[in-house]
Amino acid sequence: MEYLGQYKAVYKAKSGCEDILAKAQDGGIVTSMFAYALETGIIDGAIVAGPGSEPYKPEPMIATTVEELFAARGTKYSVSPNLALIKEATRSYGLDKIGIVGTPCQIQAVRKAQLYPIGMRDVPDKIALALGIFCMENFPYQGLFQMVEDHCATKIDNVTKMDIGKGKFSVYTERGVNSQIPLKVTHKYEQPGCHVCLDYVANMADISTGSVGTPDGWSTVFVRSAAGEAAFNKAVEAGWIIAESMDGVKPGLELVEKLATEKITKNQKYLEHRLHKEHPALKPLRNPYI
C-alpha cells in the first residue's frame, strides 16, 4: 500500500471525551491526542490552526493549554501556515517538545525542517509529535469565501461547520446542513500548489488521521512512527481515545486507498504535463521533487 505510506497500525477511533467531540471535525483525534500529550508532558505546546480575525480564516497559534486546543477544534478549509511558528515556538515560547498539526504538505515541511534545518536553528530535535490530517485539496481564503457566500448562498459569519465528504462540500449553520455543492464546482478554487501534491494521508506524520474510511463521528487513524505509537497507545490506555479494529469497517481502508491513489496519480500526471514534453516549443515548469 505505497500510497498510504508506512504504518504500524490503523484504527477506527474517536475521542473518549464528549466535550472534545462536541465541536471536533470528526473523531476529535487531533485535539484529544494533543490534550493528552499536553497533560502528560509528551509535548509542552502545540501549533494548531486557531481562529483568525475573519470567520474560517485560520491563524496559526501556539496552544499551551487545553482551552487553547479546544478553540482550534474543527477543520478550516483554508491555508493555515502552521510552520511559520515552528521556530518561534522554540524561542519566544521556549518550548522543548513541540506538537504540530498539519496537512500532508506541512508534515513534509516539518520533516524537511528536521533533516535540512537550513533556516531552522534548534528546531530538529524539538518536534515531539507531528499529527497529519488527510488532505485532498485546500483553498485560498478568498476562494473559500466565494464558495460559501456565492455558491452556497450562506453568510460565512453564520456558518457553524464546513465539511467535505461523499463528493460534496457542505456548509452547516445552527439549523443544520444549510447548503451542499458538488466538488466539481469547488475544484477551480483550489490552491494551485495542491495540484502537484503527492501525499493524501500524511505519510510522514507520527500519526495521521481523517474522516474517510470510517462512519460519521469516527476517524481513521494511521499510527506510523515509534513516537506516534507510544503516545497513541498511552492515550488509548488512559481513555482519551477509543480505538477499534478497522477490520470489517465500511467503507474502510479500501476507500482511503482508492482516494489516495486517485489523488497521487492525477497529480503525478500533472507534474509530468508541466514538463511540456508534448509541446517542444514550451519550456518546462519546475518540478520540486528530487
Partner 1 sequence: MADKITVGHVHMSGCTGCLVSLADNYEGLLTILDKYADLVYCLTLADVRHIPKMDVALVEGSVCINDECSMEEILETRENAAIVVALGGCACYGNTTRFCRGGQQNQPQHEGFLPIGDLIKVDVYIPGCAPTPQQIRNVCLMAFLLLKGNDEQKALATAYLTPLMSLAAAGTEACGCDLMTEVINQGLCCGCGSCAAACPVRAVTIQYGKPQVERDLCIKCGACYAQCPRSFFSFEVCGQYEAITNLIGEVMKP
**Which cell numbers hold the place of 107?**
508534515
The candidate with the shortest Cα–Cα distance to 203, out of 134, 265, 266, is: 134
Residue 45, C-beta contacts closer than 8 angstroms, at least 6 positions apart: 38, 62, 63, 64, 89, 93, 95, 97, 98, 99
Kindly determine how many residues on this chain lie close enough to bind ligand SF4 according to the rule CB under 6 A: 12
Select from 59, 137, 163, 257 the one that contacts ligand SF4 (CB under 6 A).
137
Of the ranges 59-67, 132-140, 214-222, 244-252, which one interacts with ligand SF4 (CB under 6 A)? 132-140
Chosen from ligand SF4, ligand FAD, partner 1, none, partner binding at 239 (C-beta under 5 to 8 Å by type): none
Residues 255-284 contacting ligand FAD, CB under 6 A: none
Dihedral of CA atoms 232, 122, 85, 89 in degrees, nearest 10, equals 70
Q: Which is nearer to ligand FAD, 120 or 136 (CB)?
A: 136
Task: Give the number of other CB atoms < 10 A from CB of residue 94.
Answer: 9
* CB-facing half-sphere around the CA of 52: CA atoms within 13 A: 17
Query: Looking at 57-142, which runs of residues are DSSP E strands?
Result: 59-63, 98-102, 127-133
Chosen from ligand SF4, ligand FAD, partner 1, none, partner binding at 210 (C-beta under 5 to 8 Å by type): ligand FAD
> What x/- string results for residues 124 through 153 when contact with ligand FAD is judged by CB under 6 A?
---------xxxx-x---------------
Q: Which is nearer to partner 1, 120 or 259 (CB)?
A: 120
Of the ranges 24-32, 114-122, 176-184, 268-276, which one interacts with ligand FAD (CB under 6 A)? 24-32
Q: In whole angstroms, how close is the CB of 194 to ligand SF4 at the nearest point?
A: 3
What are the CA-CA distances from residue 262 to residues 41, 198, 254, 268 (Å)? Answer: 39, 10, 12, 10
Q: List own/partner pairs for 248-252 with CB under 8 A and 24 or more apart.
A: 249/12, 249/213, 249/214, 249/215, 250/215, 251/212, 251/213, 252/213, 252/214
Q: In whole angstroms, how close is the CB of 282 to ligand FAD at the nearest point?
A: 31
> What x/- string results for residues 90 through 109 when contact with ligand FAD is judged by CB under 6 A?
-----------xxx------
Residues 181-240 contacting ligand SF4, CB under 6 A: 191, 193-194, 197
**Dist CA 146 CA 141 (whole Å):** 9
**Which cell numbers hold the place of 241?**
481515545
Interface residues toward ligand FAD, by CB under 6 A: 24-31, 48-49, 58, 72-78, 80, 82, 101-103, 133-136, 138, 164, 209-212, 219
Interface residues toward ligand SF4, by CB under 6 A: 81, 103-105, 119, 135, 137-138, 191, 193-194, 197
